[in-house]
Each structure stands twice: as structure tokens, then as C-alpha cells.
Structure 1
């Protein structure tokens, strides 16, 4: 018996709803297996109640880093709330009672555990790692080896999230000085984390093969088998990277292409000797190319500039750059000193290596 039914929601994008349901169902199946094993009963003889399910999820909290736990908790809460809308009053009450406990559970990762979830995902690669992955894939007998290589090539160039490809459009540019433009529907627009509904990446030129690669991947992404195909090439990438680097603690995933693209853009747009205004403009351009609503995320959570690969760098739409919110404060340290000086009892002494006599 499944606790989770299909539902709709006006505040989340379809991709987000699918991701929430998928993650929650995975946890439900794991909880059923654990409960059946504990009771030494077959799966079809076990009833997973909302209370038991929430107990299981809370019990796994230590496995997750803070960001991962928030995502898991949000997925379970959203999916169960959707299920409650179609349930009878007694079952809905049971769901909301269980969720009340889950809402209060803050992140509490077990620091003694090894790296798990996103902590094992590489945000950068050495210059020749990507080439080695492609060569290893093409030399294998895997059915979808060329599909993986195609994804890696277009992903590193464009920085698109996997879920953004189905609605992407490559066209001849309508902007002077550019031959091509890639129009992308921003995945985070419904959560107000994007600068708008779409972003546009302009390329001064693309060789015929590169343009064909992008067009081919867009066509693949629009097929009904796309999500299954992503899972397949993701497993192939997992296998190849573990075989190549068994002793590493971080390995690339399909999402790593976005990190590599951002690293390349940082290496191109950010450099020593820039004025504050130039640096803030560069951060806004990078954020616009990523589809972010502010300039903070790329500077804090993505690969550093020295991790960038040598790839073509697109240009951003100036109007989209102008919509990026400035969050990064380049003068934070000077303001910290000024604040401490004006409040000597609130930590000014800690700014000095030698305490005042």
C-alpha cells in the first residue's frame, strides 16, 4: 500500500513536484523494507502508517548534511500534505499529526559518518579528467556511452540543469555581434530564486558540430524516455569515475557540468585588478547566465575560477543582468572594522592580533 497519490500544486513547478514525490516514494519503499525486516514479515503484510514513516525519516536525519535534510523534510511534508487533501478526515488528521513532529526536526548531521549525499559530488575536475571520462566511456561497451559524452559536452558549454533542457531552444541570434542564442526556461523561477522566467545565452559563434550537439540533446530531452535516460547515463558516469579514481572522496555527477561551466565563466569574467564596480558587474553577468536572482549563490556555492575548463563562454542579456539582485558586499571587512570601532565593547578587540594593554 502506498501512502502517496498524484497531486497538483500551484506554488511549485511540475519538475519540483515530480522530484518531491520521487524522493518521498524512495523513502517510503526504504521504510517499508526496514519495517518488514524488523517484524520479519513480507512487504505485503506490513502497513506503513504516517507516524511510522515519519519515525523512519527522523531516524535517518543524521545521515544528511543540513541542506540535504531540509530538502528531504520539505519533500516528505509537501507530498504527505498533498495526500491528505484526498484522504478522509481521520487519515488526514493522522498525517498532519505526524508532520507536526517532522516540522520541528532541525538538521543534526552525524559528524562521525563518512561523506554522504552531496558531500561526495565533485564541483571541479582537473583539466584532463573530463577528457579521460569521455575516452573511458567511448572505449566501453555501454549502450549509452555516446549519450553520456554528448551530455557532458553540451552541459559544460551551457551550464544548464538537466531538467532545463526539454524547454530550451537554440536559435539564430537576434542580437548584433552574436550568431546563436540559447533560450532557457529558468527552473527556479517559481521559487523567486531566478531573475525571471527565462535566460538567454548568446554565442558569438558555434561550429556546426557544437550547434548540432546542442540541438540533438534538446531533441533527446523532449522524449518520454528522458528521465530514464538521465538515470542510465548517471549510473554509467558513477561506474566510470569509481573505476578511474577509486581512492578519491569526491566524484562528478551529471550536475557537475553546471559547476564546471560556472568555473569557466568565473575564470573568464573575474580577474585581478578589477575595480569593485567591474567585479560586481562580472558577478551579475555570471548570475544572469546561471539564471540566478542574486549574485551571491555562484560566488559561494560553485566551483572556483581556477577550476574552469577551456570552453566557449557565452554572453548574458544586459536586461537580465540588470535584474540580478546585488547581495555580495565587497566592503564587508571594512564595515566590520568600522562597526567594531564604534562599539568597542562588542568585539573590537578580537580584530587585533595583540590585545590592547
Structure 2
């Protein structure tokens, strides 16, 4: 006899692993999981498969009886299958179609194409591209940004989006810039002003901006299979920061700085889930400094592994120097 509840749990575990891998997350929140199921997985599978996946995920969420998880389960159960014809008509916007790097040349190309477009979000999109590439903020973090300027120093403070998910080093992080060009400072202020003007409608602005970026990316890079998204500048920022701080001899400390700038709780996250430092070589926007106190808060997972590696290498060299094998 088939144990339906256990079958549901097995399927849910497999789906959660797939979602975590697709989203590049070590700890997957229920919100991200349900969003991935509805916005991504549902587009890819038949109606019958979706009903099975939906039942499994909703069942597991409902077992705790927690109000928030019950709401997620209700959201899942209300998501109807997508007809085959409609699935074919959907734009291919899963993670496999999203660019994970956006070098400065591509940013400039996007700006040129956007300037020439008739998009009503033209100026806002240009400001976002520059501000996001400069700071590496998650799209959802911008409403919390505070900017202070003293002389040629600009200090940006932002609330970490995942501070309640044991994934951030603290509630806030600090990015310190010196000598920003007037053009970049103007773009930063323009985008922040647009976010504040949107107020409670910022999620709507974010959605429309994502659609506009997809359209401009298609025009700018018609032959590419992967398109830039609102999150792509963060990946590029990570690559730029790793190239700046974590490519030298003190790589372990450099990765802690990168983690502090990204708001991560561990210096291993950027190594595993973001663009490689090789993609951060060449021309870039200025890379900020991190607050020393925040760097010290980073859990040095990579540093511990790196120290063990260095110790093992030193031991091997010592053994070789005295003729031991």
C-alpha cells in the first residue's frame, strides 16, 4: 500500500532541492520556494504534473499548522495549471535564461539602447543599471537605503534583506565610496528618489522595470540566449569585488570583505553562488570599502578551510625539504 503522505514528503524534498539549486540558495525560505514553484516550475510542466507537485508542496506546508505556511499552501492550491499553448507563449525567463554577469561594456551598451528607446521608464532604468552595478544591492533592498555624504566620501547604509534568515552578517551593511564621479552620484540619487517616490508601489515599479530591462536586453543583445535581469548587476558586483579584494595573497581576508559588502553571513557564499572573479577583471565602477566591524562579523568558513590547506601545504614542503615522502 502506498503511503501518500510519505510520497508527498519525498516529492517536496526533491522540489526544494531543485528550487535551492535554481535560486542559488543554501537556506530556502518558504516564500522563495512557493514563488519558484508558481513562477518557474509551473511554466515548465504539464497540468497533471503541476497538480501532483502542488499537492505535495501544499500538503507539507499545511502539516505545521502555522498561519504563514497555511497562507503559502493556500496560494499554491489556488495556482491553476497553465495550458500547453499558453506555456509555449510564455517568455523563457527561468534562471537558465538569466545572465549572471554584466560587464561595464554591456552596461554602457544597454544605456545607449535604452536612451534610444521610447520606454516611459527610460531614465529610471538607466539610473537603476548604474546604481545597481555600483552597489550590488538586491532589488528588494533599495527602499531601506540611506545615503550620507561628507566631502568626497559617500556612505551607503542598507538593511540586509535576509537578516532574519540566518544568512546575513547583521541587520544592516555599509558601503563606503570615495571620489565617486558626479555622473555616478547623480545616477544613485536619481534611482533612490524614484524608489522613494514609488513608496508602497515600489513592487509594481520593480516588476515594470524588470520587464523593461528584459526588452532592452533583447534589443541590445539579440543573439544572446541569456538576458540581464534586475539581479544581474549584483552578480557582476560580486565578481568585481572578488577581483578587487580576493585575488591576491590574502584571499581569505578578501573574501570576508566581499561577504560584508554583499551582506552575507559567511565568506563561502559568494565563492559558491556568484560570478567568478575572472568576470570582474577589466573596467569597472568604483568598488566600495566595507566597514571593519561588519567584516569581523562574517563567519569565516572559507578562511578556516584555507588555513587548513595552507597548513597542509607547509607540512608537505617541510617533509620534502628533509627528504621524507
Q: Which category describes the TM-score, using the shorter chain as reference length? A: 0.5 to 0.7
For the 8 Å contact 2:157–2:173, the answer to whether it is kept is yes
Residue in structure 2 matched with residue 300 of structure 1 by the alignment: 272
Residue in structure 2 matched with residue 279 of structure 1 by the alignment: 251
For the 8 Å contact 1:24–1:79, the answer to whether it is kept is no
Q: Please tell me whether residue 316 in structure 1 is matched to residue 290 in structure 2.
A: yes
For the 8 Å contact 1:121–1:250, the answer to whether it is kept is yes
Q: Distance in 2 between matches of 1:291 and 1:78?
A: 31
Q: Please tell me whether residue 172 in structure 1 is matched to residue 169 in structure 2.
A: no
Q: CA deviation at 1:203?
A: 1.1
Residue in structure 2 matched with residue 203 of structure 1 by the alignment: 177
Residue in structure 2 matched with residue 346 of structure 1 by the alignment: none
Q: CA deviation at 1:270?
A: 2.7
Q: CA deviation at 1:122?
A: 1.3
Q: Distance in 2 between matches of 1:78 and 1:227?
A: 29
Q: Relative contact order (C-alpha < 8 Å, sep 6+): which is higher? A: 2
Residue in structure 2 matched with residue 251 of structure 1 by the alignment: 227
Q: Distance in 2 between matches of 1:248 and 1:220?
A: 30
> Structure 1 residues 286 and 190, CA, compared in 2 at 3 Å: closer, same or farther?
same
Q: Please tell me whether residue 226 in structure 1 is matched to residue 202 in structure 2.
A: yes
Residues 215-235 of structure 1 show CA distances to partners (whole Å, capped at 9, x for unaligned) of 332232232221111111211
For the 8 Å contact 2:146–2:157, the answer to whether it is kept is yes
Q: Distance in 2 between matches of 1:168 and 1:313?
A: 18
Q: Distance in 1 between matches of 2:125 and 2:294?
A: 31
RMSD: 3.9
Residue in structure 2 matched with residue 69 of structure 1 by the alignment: none
Residue in structure 2 matched with residue 12 of structure 1 by the alignment: none
For the 8 Å contact 2:177–2:288, the answer to whether it is kept is yes
Q: CA deviation at 1:80?
A: 5.5
Which one of 186, 189, 195 corresponds to residue 215 of structure 1?
189
Residue in structure 1 matched with residue 54 of structure 2 by the alignment: 57
Q: Please tell me whether residue 133 in structure 1 is matched to residue 130 in structure 2.
A: no
For the 8 Å contact 2:259–2:267, the answer to whether it is kept is yes
Equivalence map 1:1-357=2 (5 Å): 54-57=51-54, 85=67, 117-172=94-149, 179-222=153-196, 223-272=199-248, 274=249, 278-308=250-280, 309-328=283-302, 329-330=305-306
For the 8 Å contact 2:124–2:194, the answer to whether it is kept is no
Residue in structure 1 matched with residue 13 of structure 2 by the alignment: none
Gaps of 5+ in 1: 1-15, 39-51, 60-72, 87-91, 100-114, 339-357
Q: Distance in 2 between matches of 1:239 and 1:337?
A: 51
Residues 24-63 of structure 1 show CA distances to partners (whole Å, capped at 9, x for unaligned) of 77689989xx86xx9xxxxxxxxxxxxx97525379xxxx
Gaps of 5+ in 2: 1-28, 78-91, 315-325
Q: Distance in 2 between matches of 1:55 and 1:216?
A: 46
Q: Distance in 1 between matches of 2:161 and 2:232?
A: 17
Q: Distance in 2 between matches of 1:200 and 1:77?
A: 41
Q: CA deviation at 1:283?
A: 0.5
Count the aligned residue pairs: 264
Q: Distance in 2 between matches of 1:233 and 1:197?
A: 27
Residues 249-286 of structure 1 show CA distances to partners (whole Å, capped at 9, x for unaligned) of 322111001011111112211334x1xxx211111001
Q: Distance in 1 between matches of 2:243 and 2:182?
A: 26
For the 8 Å contact 2:267–2:300, the answer to whether it is kept is yes
Q: Distance in 2 between matches of 1:27 and 1:259?
A: 20
TM-score scaled by structure 2? 0.68
> Structure 1 residues 178 and 269, CA, compared in 2 at 3 Å: closer, same or farther?
farther
Q: Distance in 2 between matches of 1:77 and 1:257?
A: 37
